Chains A and B, each alone.
Chain A
């Protein structure tokens, strides 16, 4: 049987609003990045990471972003004056996906117990799930949450 968000007692709007709220808060407070507001979804984001979710709920969180957004976020988080190298970029984007996923799940279900996998790179973003895209001063970040067993 495939579980859906409805089985978890969640409304679609609640998931999207929480994803958006967490994205803005995380980007502004820990990545020192100005958020301009919601925007169109990305078709082919340059960077793509995901985290597996198990525990009270199961599913997957995925994040994609444009190259310019990743460069700014990595430099800001790492406190660099110049550009982040590939390793620094991967470290920071992995941590960003971890923070976004954990913060979103905690807000959607304060009584849940969740186990998150280590972040992993994706060849392409999954279809389906609930997604939001935010426009930054430079670039775009997109976050997707899929609940229910992931193939």
Chain B
């Protein structure tokens, strides 16, 4: 099944890199949207079909943590799986994000194959 994916990261370079890696990996995409912070992501989530969110944590305006809190408080949005992509591999941060509802966590630096397998794992569980 093809996935409507939303990539949220304040770094334009990182958004492009993630997009390229996903497209080249063969992960089936129905559509791909980008947001540079949590607030922009929420706008997209309210106006478009999104099956999976891939988000950074440390962003201006609205962080990934705040985005997860907002999604958890919304009956529709809390069903959409979120995978966190971050350089922060501390136990406290990973635990915090999973407690807030993240379904997956990919630590930078990552191998392209590991990103794809995490996305597939999360989508398989969500279906």
Contacts and interface: CB of A to CB of B under 8 A. Distances in A.
Interface of A: 22, 25-26, 29-30, 77-79, 88, 91-92, 94-95, 98-99, 101-103, 105-107, 109-116, 118
Nearest to B86: A102
Interface residues of B, number: 22
Main secondary structure of the interface of A (DSSP, over half): helix
9 contacts: A77-B13, A79-B16, A91-B13, A94-B11, A103-B89, A106-B90, A110-B91, A116-B58, A118-B60
8 tightest Cβ-Cβ pairs between the two chains A and B: A102-B87, A106-B89, A91-B13, A26-B109, A29-B109, A92-B13, A30-B109, A95-B11
Contact of A30 (B12, B16, B92, B108): B108
Contacts of B87: 98-99, 101-103, 106
Nearest to A93: B13
Interface string B28-59: 00000000000000000000000000000010
Contacts of A29: 109-111
B83 to A, nearest CB: 17
Contact of B13 (A95, A110, A111, A112): A95
Interface of B: 11-14, 16-17, 20, 58, 60, 86-93, 107-111
Nearest to A27: B109
Nearest to B12: A91
